[in-house]
Amino acid sequence: MEKDNVAFTLHLSAKPGEIFTFGTYPQTVGGEDRTPIKWRVLQNSGSELFILSEYILDCRRYHGENADITWRDSDLRRWLNDEFYNAAFNDSEKRFIKTTHCADNGEGSADTEDKVFLPSVSEVKELTYKLDEVSLSAKRRAIATEFARIKKNDGCHLYVYNKKVKNDYITEEGEESGCSWWWLRTQHGSSSRAFFIGPRSSIRSYGRVNLACYGVRPALVIHFQ
């Protein structure tokens, strides 16, 4: 317990743009590993850190059916706050995860209280940077882990860019990888569609909720007790 508190005291000084690890999740093709999750700090209020996973960690539908659905009632919200939350964090880590009030969920979509969530459109605009901006904050463009890229038993299979536009690739450690698109929690005028990050860091509004090719970058707030 004391060791955990010391570790989080160090994170308390983390600046926006810095990366640290917290929790674990499968990231290799076999899915049998427990690899530490890399998070990028979006905001530091002094007592809380708003963080976003650096990589796309999984491929999921916003909702299992092409239906009118709100973020509050979506399958993806349920998965994040149950299956992912319990798989990624142990009891000691869960003590530091705040229940966050999430607004900007879309027209007619009630506010929610979430442990783990997707960024909203307004949060992405305020706290991430676009392609041509120079910043240390989180990139809107993202690549996926090997685990996120494999086809899942439910038919989800992440789209990975493989065309000619260089701005839709990211190079890490000398290796060039195509970006993938990832969900935001905010919905557009139609509750059968949701916003997502698409080509060249763009914010798109037409993602059908049952699309099986978009990724998930979880977000959460850590609070220091």
The helix or strand, by DSSP H or E, that contains position 126, with its residue range, turns out to be helix 121-127
Q: According to the model, what pLDDT value does residue 131 have?
A: 45
38-45 average pLDDT score: 94
Instruction: Show the tokens assigned to 94.
Output: 């869960």
Torsion of CA 119, 121, 122, 127, to 10 degrees: 60
Q: Are 135 and 17 in contact (CB under 8 A)?
A: yes
Residue 19 forms beta bridges with which residues?
A: 40
d(CA 51, CA 19): 9
Q: Are 42 and 54 in contact (CB under 8 A)?
A: no
118 pLDDT above the threshold of 90 = yes
Instruction: Show the tokens assigned to 69.
Output: 């659905």
**pLDDT greater at residue 116 or residue 190:** 116
Cα-trace Rg, the chain: 17
Per-residue pLDDT tens for 133-143?
A: 455 456 789 99
54-68 average pLDDT score: 97
* 107 band by pLDDT with thresholds 50, 70 and 90: confident
d(CA 192, CA 161): 25
Q: Beta strand 138-139 with 128-129: parallel, antiparallel or unpaired? A: parallel
Instruction: Show the tokens assigned to 70.
Output: 């709100």
75 Rama class: left (phi>0) / alpha (psi -120 to 50) / beta: alpha
* 188 band by pLDDT with thresholds 50, 70 and 90: confident
Is 114 in a helix, a strand, or coil?
Answer: strand
Q: Is the pTM of this model over 0.85?
A: yes
Which of these, 89, 96, 84, lies nearest to 4 by C-alpha position? 96
d(CA 116, CA 22): 13
What is the count of structural domains for the chain? 1
Q: According to the model, what pLDDT value does residue 13 have?
A: 82
Question: What's the longest Cα–Cα distance across the chain?
Answer: 51
Residue ranges making up the domain that contains 23: 2-223
Per-residue pLDDT tens for 157-167?
A: 999 999 988 88
